[in-house]
Amino acid sequence: MSAETIRHPLLRDLAWLIETPPLLQSRLPGAPDRTTLGLGDTSLYRYWLNTLAQEIATLEQYVGTGQPIRLGTHVERLWQIILDRAPATHLLAHNLRVICDQRTVGEFDLLYDDYEQATPVHMEAAIKFYLGLPEGPGTSTAQSRWIGTSGPDSLALKHLHLLTHQTRLGQKAASREVLKEFGAPPLRCRMALKGVLFYPWRSGLDAVNGASHLPTLTGMPAPEGAHPDHPAGIWLHWRDWFHFIDTLQLTGAAQLQRPHWLALPPRETLLFPESLLPELRQRQQERGLPVQLVVCSDQLPQLRVMLVDDAWPLQIPLPPRRSPGPRRRRVQLSPWPR
């Protein structure tokens, strides 16, 4: 059972988080996989998902489906369910604030036990959708070339912040009192950075038929440190939409509605692209709001597409002062302060 074969969008997103590779290969471990969660056996995994399906109303109420919810909050709550319900993990706490001198200095996204080690795991969860710039700061493979659809956000800045701040929260002296009830640190850290990298579309994208690696189709390489199987898509401006439809001879499309930007819907639910025009035009009038679609054709597997305003990008964030890339020597985290 894969995310694409599951009907309910909430369970589909949950399975997508478990099954999908991370954006980056980092020096920190990524999110726990099926084996680490105790779900390596396919039959057990199916049984576990079916069990969750029996409680879907309760899960929807917990996650907050049906009301406005931030994409990041949606993902955090899905991870809370996964770590609390998986056979080999036990959720200890989530969104645990660390306060020093009446000021919040950080927050632990997730703390859990995995029944294999004596110390708890601190996992930072993030979901990001970055668009690659053919021209921009740094080299062609620089993480700073991959930016968010709005605001001063980039893959380089997020990666650096995760490595140097969020995942090091457990080393701060102010965290000792908060973590006291969960046993003596040091904590083990994981960085669950999931999402999609969108490569810039080129009008000569004829070779997309049957291809599986988008970087070779758009002329832009993957960013440094990218996982070889990271989720990928195409981004284009509104003005290129009709040319895009004709070039790829699209037969189906659907708009992904927030917060369900994670797993793709079943292919048979996609509609003819022209039927989306009224809805897309309305979104176009809401200037600056990106639209994520899934499209397909007779020869094209399901492909993610991010539509952005014709004036995008209005700003490009500067690269971080420190590089989040791999270092020449292995860096050990400092010991827990005594």
Backbone angles phi, psi at 209, to 5 degrees: -60, 120
Backbone angles phi, psi at 5, to 5 degrees: -90, -5
**Burial degree of 120 (CB within 10 A; 0-12, 13-18, 19+):** buried
pLDDT tens readout for residues 140-184: 999 999 999 887 899 999 999 898 888 888 887 778 888 888 875
Dist. CA 292–CA 298, nearest whole Å: 21
pLDDT tens readout for residues 297-331: 888 888 999 999 888 898 888 888 765 554 433 32
- The stretch 74-89 carries a mean pLDDT of 96
Q: Which residues of 129-145 are buried (b: 16+ CB within 10 A; e: fewer)?
A: bbbbbeebbbeebbbbb
What confidence category does residue 95 fall into, taking pLDDT thresholds of 50, 70 and 90?
very high
Residue 82 near residue 37 (C-beta atoms within 8 A): yes
Instruction: Pick left, alpha or beta for residue 66 (phi over 0 → left; psi -120 to 50 → alpha; otherwise beta).
Output: left
Backbone angles phi, psi at 158, to 5 degrees: -65, -45
According to the model, what pLDDT value does residue 66 have? 63
Dist. CA 305–CA 261, nearest whole Å: 11
Least confident interval from 73-77, 100-104, 243-247: 100-104
Q: Which residue has the tokens 């964030």?
A: 317
For residue 189, the SS3 value is strand
What confidence category does residue 232 fall into, taking pLDDT thresholds of 50, 70 and 90?
very high
* Beta-sheet pairing, 146-147 with 188-200: unpaired
**What percent of the chain is predicted at pLDDT more than 70?**
86
According to the model, what pLDDT value does residue 35 have? 95
Cα–Cα distances in angstroms (integers) from residue 132 to residues 39, 71, 230, 248, in the given order: 34, 21, 14, 21
Dist. CA 219–CA 307, nearest whole Å: 19
- The stretch 204-211 carries a mean pLDDT of 38
Dist. CA 309–CA 36, nearest whole Å: 41
